[in-house]
Each structure stands twice: as structure tokens, then as C-alpha cells.
Homo-oligomer: A and B are copies of this chain.
């Protein structure tokens, strides 16, 4: 499974593409940032983000996209731009019919370090370790995007297992129903 993680931002939008599956080793296919100039106006910047994300999707063709969930509580000065950049990334993926998942920074940190309150250095150390690299991708936004992708591969795996278990259960119930038919419930 190939997942593209996106750490949204107007100035630096982190992107990290990771291949892997639950219980298998992970590999980084690509990581970097889509940049737009702080001197450009908002329409130009959003268009720049769109072109950049489209380019990553064209080059790496992921199976799913994981975008950081943005909260209004965070850093008020940049949160609007972050929300807007995330909307562009989500829409680019949805337009292609790709599944899009939103994970909070805490979920990503907890997935790869075991703690939702891990600091930047700890996240980067674990990103490098899990991907079998000497160092985490640079800049930090690219490493955070890779962390989101890893989080999604692992959480997606967990969700898949729950879905599988539910299907198995449904199959057993169906089988039981067929082999031992229940009497008709009398109408009211």
C-alpha cells in the first residue's frame, strides 16, 4: 500500500510518500515540500499548492492520502492558511477518487513514537528509524508528512482488520441462520 502524507501549510506544505503494510517494513518513496512565496497573494498561493500536490499525485500515484487534521485552537496567525492548504490537498485527492483520511498530529505522534505528546526530535528520530534511513527527511514538514503516511498505513491496517473481523462475524451469523432457520416472528 502506498500512502501520501500531507502536512498542510501555505509557505511549506510537507509531502511524504511511504510504501508498506501492517507487519511489513516501510519504505520512503519520496519526501519534500511544496513551497509558495509569502509575497504572492492568496489565490496565487492556493493555485501553487494545487499544482504542487497534483504533481506529487501524478508522479507517485498513491493508493490513499493522509492529511493532517487542522484545529482552530492552534496558532491563530497561521491556522487559516493551514486550513485552506489542507482543503486544496483533500480536494485534489478526492477528485481522483482516492480515499482521504484525516489524522491529528497527536494520532501521528502516538502511532510512531507511542506518545501523542512526543517532541519534534523524537518524531524525526522515529521517522528515520521506521523508514530505515540515517536521518529523517528534511525539512521537518516533509518528515511530519511521512509520519502521517506511516500513521495511516498502521491505523488503516487496524481498521482493515476490524472490517475483516466484522465480515467474518456476519458470515458466521448468515451461516447459522441458514443451517438452523428461526421460526417466523408473528406480526403485530
The answer to the question of A158 belonging to the interface, with a C-beta cut-off of 8 Å to chain B, is no
| B42–A102 touching, CB < 8 Å | yes
Q: Assembly of this chain: how many copies?
A: 2
Note all chain B residues with C-beta closer than 8 A to A42: 90, 100, 102
Segment from A19-27, A70-78, A124-132 that makes contact with B? A70-78
Stretch at the interface among A81-89, A105-113, A145-153, A171-179: A81-89
- Stretch from A55-63, A91-99, A114-122, A159-167 forming part of the interface with B: A91-99
Counting chain A residues whose Cβ lies within 8 A of the other chain, the interface size class is 20 to 34
A93 — nearest CB in chain B belongs to which residue?
B43
Checking B72, B88, B95, B100 against A79 with a beta-carbon cut-off of 8 angstroms, the contacting residue is B72
For A87, what are the chain B residues with a Cβ–Cβ distance below 8 Å? 46, 83-85, 87-88
Interface residue ranges, A against B (CB under 8 Å): 42-44, 46-47, 50, 70-73, 76-77, 79-80, 83-88, 90-91, 93-95, 100, 102
